[in-house]
Amino acid sequence: MLEVLGVPPYAESVYRALLAAPGRTVAQLAGELGRSERATRRGVTELAELGLVSRLPGRPVRLLATRPDTAVDLLVARRRRELGELQRNARALAATLSTGRQPDELLEILTGRQAIAERFAQLVRGCERELLVFDRPPYAADATGSEEGVTARLHEDVVVRGIYAPESLEYPGALAAARRAAANGERSRVHPQVPMKLAVADRALALLPIALDDQVDSALVIRPCALLDALVGLFELLWQQAAPLLPQAAPDRPSCSDLGLLTLLAAGVKDEAIARQLGVSPRTVTRRVAELLDELGARTRFQAGILAQRRGWLPDPSPRD
């Protein structure tokens, strides 16, 4: 029982014998345990160093075991001090390593969907301040599990900013999931040209999945370096250009369905995908788009997005959001 706290097995047997019969001498303990006096004396010395045995006054020397509850408290306190010292030494060692990393230590290659999914979950759990995400297909992990992991961090005051590609919103239920994330506190935007999948934790560690033949079977783990700085800079650039996923209704445009339609249009989502997300027919989408273009006085969908933003239907993106 006490071996996990640093007490060798035979020393523990000596301790238990003393608990059962206090005041024994080393010779008596050796006889009861069937071991040599030399081995028993060594066990007593180990117990005394741990504060588990004391000597009674007089001759011959008799021994008294410390109460079990007190003994365990002493051992636990001692182990905590040792672990604390180990942590301090590990941090000091890591500090020396971080100043002299070799190029091959800055990048790590992951292979296999399971390994990528596990590392993404680890990255999300380890994030303490800010999580940046490019969301676009294909996906290596189950979307539901990823959503739950990110939502859990939102509830722990981690800032999550996500930029969605139009293709990611074309999956059945994808828009509803993105809106749930935004309702839970994610700062969500849509951009028509999200170049890759990406997750960056605290601007200190990035996971960059690599899609080959529309399959995510490998990924790069990127530690602090110029490449990581460039990826963060790219995220911030697209963030300023992206449209909010959940625009606020303006007084002259209270319809939530129209706002949702405008958001998807601004993101470049196709009519068929918009129809699936909004639960209407493609003909209805085409008709409503034509009505919105006419109402806004726009000739193209892109122009409609700009005019809707100027009217306040789609708020002007701000890097502070």
pLDDT tens-digit series, residues 296-308: 777 777 677 767 7
Are 116 and 228 in a shared domain?
A: yes
Which residue, among 161, 164, 122, has the nearest Cα to 139 in the 3D structure?
Answer: 164
Query: In CATH, what number is assigned to the domain containing residue 285?
Result: 1.10.10.10
> Is 156 among the domain residues?
yes
Parent domain of 287: 256-310
**Widest distance between CA atoms in the chain:** 108
Q: Give me the percent of the chain exceeding a pLDDT of 70.
A: 79
Are 197 and 285 in a shared domain?
A: no
Instruction: Give the whole-angstrom CA distance, residue 225 versus residue 204.
Output: 9
- 200, pLDDT greater than 90: yes
Number of domains in the chain: 3
Last residue in a domain, options 100, 132, 153: 100
**pLDDT by residue (tens digit) across 269-280?**
777 877 777 777
Q: Average the pLDDT over each of 157-166, 217-226, 281-290 and give the range with the smallest value.
A: 281-290
If phi over 0 gives left and psi between -120 and 50 gives alpha, with beta otherwise, what is residue 42? Answer: alpha
Are 1 and 96 in a shared domain?
A: yes
Q: Is 0.95 surpassed by the pTM of this model?
A: no
Quickly state the pLDDT bin for 143 (edges 50, 70, 90).
low
Query: In CATH, what number is assigned to the domain containing residue 156?
Result: 3.30.870.10
Which pLDDT value is given to residue 206? 95
Question: Average of pLDDT values for 11-35?
Answer: 82
Quickly state the pLDDT bin for 170 (edges 50, 70, 90).
confident
How far CA 153 is from CA of 124, 135, 255, 257, in Å, comes to: 7, 17, 32, 30
Last residue in a domain, options 56, 79, 100: 100
Which tops the pLDDT comparison, 111 or 50?
Answer: 111
> Is 200 among the domain residues?
yes
> Is 305 among the domain residues?
yes
> Is 321 among the domain residues?
no
Q: Give me the percent of the chain exceeding a pLDDT of 90.
A: 15
The DSSP letter of residue 217 is E
> Is 46 among the domain residues?
yes
How far CA 312 is from CA of 44, 244, 249, 252, in Å, comes to: 81, 12, 8, 9
Which pLDDT value is given to residue 248? 53
Are 93 and 131 in a shared domain?
A: no
How far CA 285 is from CA of 52, 112, 278, 300, in Å, comes to: 80, 40, 9, 15
Are 74 and 33 in a shared domain?
A: yes
> Is 318 among the domain residues?
no
Are 50 and 88 in a shared domain?
A: yes
Tokens coding 272: 């068929």
CB 30, CB 40: distance < 8 Å: yes
What is the overall mean pLDDT for the chain?
Answer: 79
Instruction: Give the whole-angstrom CA distance, residue 196 versus residue 5.
Output: 49
> Is 320 among the domain residues?
no
Helices (H), the chain: 9-20, 26-33, 37-49, 68-98, 103-106, 113-126, 143-154, 174-183, 226-241, 256-267, 271-278, 282-296, 301-310
Are 56 and 153 in a shared domain?
A: no
- 104, pLDDT greater than 90: no
> Is 105 among the domain residues?
no
Which tops the pLDDT comparison, 244 or 222?
Answer: 222
CB 136, CB 164: distance < 8 Å: yes
**pLDDT by residue (tens digit) across 229-268?**
999 999 999 998 887 776 555 555 535 556 667 777 766 6
Are 138 and 21 in a shared domain?
A: no
Last residue in a domain, options 200, 215, 240: 240
